[in-house]
Amino acid sequence: MRLAFGADHAGYELKDHLVNTARELGHEVIDLGTNGPESVDYPDFAKAVAERVVSGHSDLGVILCSNGVGISISANKVPGIRAALCHTSWGAARARQHANANILALGAWEIGRGVADDILKAFLSNDFEGGRHERRVGKMMEIERTGIAAEKVGS
């Protein structure tokens, strides 16, 4: 599988570790940076990874910042991206199985290397289940397409 990785200065050390883990698992990796502690802007790395995924140059992406929130929000602004911020391997498996997540977001200052390895392995070893989840993912993508929900709640 082809994987794109990106992180800001808060996430680069854990990103480097996960890049090595992914390679050890036999995956092809493109590391889009950053590669040091100098302050950078996480939206730049979210966008770079997201563009590789939606273009088909990478099958899945992995992004990191201090808590994973800003980078996941940024990635989700790119049409076609379903970035999931995960804190457990169970959540990562469900993100792939039920939401067809195509980018894994992690908070580098919230989890250790062992937990991050488990989350990455769960994300990469699960596939979208389809079925009843197709309808739900379709509704997510419709919201993305129209920019608004199809129905008003409470009207």
- Residues classed as catalytic: 65, 98
In angstroms, rounded to a whole number, what is the distance separating the alpha carbons of residues 65 and 6? Answer: 9
Q: How far is CA 44 from the centre of its chain?
A: 14
DSSP 37: S
Q: How many CB atoms lie within 10 A of CB 72?
A: 24
Determine which helix (DSSP H) or strand (DSSP E) holds 122, and give its type and residue range: helix 113-124
Which residues 6+ apart lie within 8 Å of 46 measured at CB? 6, 63, 71, 72, 74, 75, 78, 83
In angstroms, rounded to a whole number, what is the distance separating the alpha carbons of residues 113 and 45? Answer: 21
Determine which helix (DSSP H) or strand (DSSP E) holds 24, and give its type and residue range: helix 12-24
